[in-house]
Amino acid sequence: MHTVLLLADVPPQTLPARSMMAFTLASHIILVPMGVALPLITLIMHGYGLRRGDATALLLARRWSAVMAVQFAIGVVTGTVLSFEFGLLWPGMMGRWGDVFGIGFGVEAWAFFLEAVLIAVYLFGWRRLPARTHFLLGLPLPLTALLGAFGILAANAWMNTPRGFTLDSAGNPVDVKIWKAIFTPMFGPQYWHFVVAMFVTAGYVVAGVYAVGRLRGRRDRYHRLGFTVPFTLAAVLTPVQFVLGDSIARQVFRKQPVKFAAMEIVWKTDTHQPEYLYGRLRPDGGISGGIRIPQLDSILAGFHADTKVTGLTSVPASDRPTARQATIAHWAFDTMVGIGSLLVLLALWYGATWLLRRRTPASPWFYRGAAVAGVASVVAVECGWITAEVARQPWIVYQNMRVAEAVTATRSTSLWITFGLVVLLYVFVFGSFLAVLLKMRSRWRLADAAGGPPGETPETDTPYGPRSAGSRP
């Protein structure tokens, strides 16, 4: 009954506002791994090609740079929509707290424009600049991508552990200290967990494309190299990411105990807490379904079964996620961890084969797993954000502002109509993105067919050097 009363206090426009934000963020985040990590993956391949004089590696780098540019253009659209939504859907938060954490968005904007310029220079430089000069001009690209992630993660980490201000008698933030607002207790764990996740995800996504090609019988050097470089990067970083994920979970346990309780569906504070794999939390605190592992949650949280884990009932019902929200966060968290564990096994398979036999695995099952790994990594990223945002409810600024206080006063009907228009826009944008990628793939295949097997004579012109008469720049 108390939960029903709490829900009645939530403004009706909250649901469409949250739904729209969730949809646009979930859509945008599909592009983020490629935006953050593809520049580095491309430059690794580019550097390899220059060092070895490898035309196939240079061809791959050139093609990946074209995909990078198209992806960046699509990200402009989805990122701009998100930027507007912060102000239009959550004016209460931006009006009160914008001066405190808005610096993160400013850093991201500067990084975004700088990255746009550098991508344009890098893309234009193929066949026009000396090889060494062109490569050196591309080196700042990964740094600008990391700087953009720095800005966004600084803002989100502040929402999880707000610092760097004091409140006046009216409850408004004053005496803002920018450095404390940026480098909050959760910033370091969140940033590195996020960045490594982007490299892992992008590596598996790119490698997955060539894994599918191998399964379809394309076993030329072009596909071998296109698979090996990004997959090796992802495989090396996967165990690192698993350790970072464990570290950030412990930070949440210490800094946001109620959020941790939601992630692990812990109802009452106690020691010797069991771990539940999936399962559904009921409003009365009971758990339906799932696999119960005695004492494991306490052991994972503090390395000992006597570790006391804070439960959801440690705070009033109005200050914690509902049973449904806790279940959603718990399922998302378990799915993310489960995918991460499977990716570690795939990386170990790859690493063991390389160390023992000095070659990549030959089993079709390995390449089936590699093909699925790209999609699975994106799902894990989505689950990570669901965990981070849903488990923080009802707070939009942890313990300082509720979602209901931040939401716009616009009528819910208008928001639902706007949501529908945004969905149509995104269908068009992502449809166009897919159409462009398919068109590029078809053109590249025609070029390869005309020039012979990929990696031998892949195009009529090499990425550097004189161009043949009549060739396009």
313 found inside a domain: no
The pTM (predicted TM-score) of the whole model is: 0.86
Instruction: Say yes or no to pLDDT of 453 above 70.
Output: no
DSSP-derived secondary structure for 438-472: HHHHHHHHHHHHHH-STTTS-SSS-SSSPPPTT--
Instruction: Give a yes or no: residue 70 inside a domain.
Output: yes
Query: Residue 131 domain-assigned?
Result: yes
The model's confidence at residue 221, banded by pLDDT at 50, 70 and 90, is confident
Q: What is the pLDDT of residue 409?
A: 86
Q: Which domain holds residue 25?
A: 12-167+174-254+324-451
Mean pLDDT of the chain: 85
Residue 107 lies in a domain: yes
10 Å Cβ neighbour count for 307? 17
Q: Which residues contact 85 (CB under 8 A, 6 or more apart)?
A: 20, 21, 24
463 pLDDT band, cuts 50/70/90, is low
> pLDDT of 129-156, one tens digit each?
888 888 999 899 999 888 888 888 888 8
Query: Could you tell me if residue 4 is inside a domain?
Result: no
Q: Is residue 273 part of a domain?
A: no
Q: Tell me the pLDDT band of 380, cut-offs 50, 70 and 90.
A: very high
User: Per mean pLDDT, which of 2-16, 196-210, 269-283, 287-301 is the most reliable?
Assistant: 196-210
Share of the chain above pLDDT 70, in %: 93
For the segment 119-131, what is each residue's pLDDT rounded down to a tens digit? Answer: 888 888 888 888 8
Could you tell me if residue 151 is inside a domain? yes
Q: For the segment 229-257, what is each residue's pLDDT rounded down to a tens digit? A: 999 999 999 999 988 988 888 888 888 88
Q: Does some domain include residue 269?
A: no
DSSP alpha helix (H) spans, 126-220: 131-138, 140-160, 178-182, 187-215
- Give the chain's domain count: 1
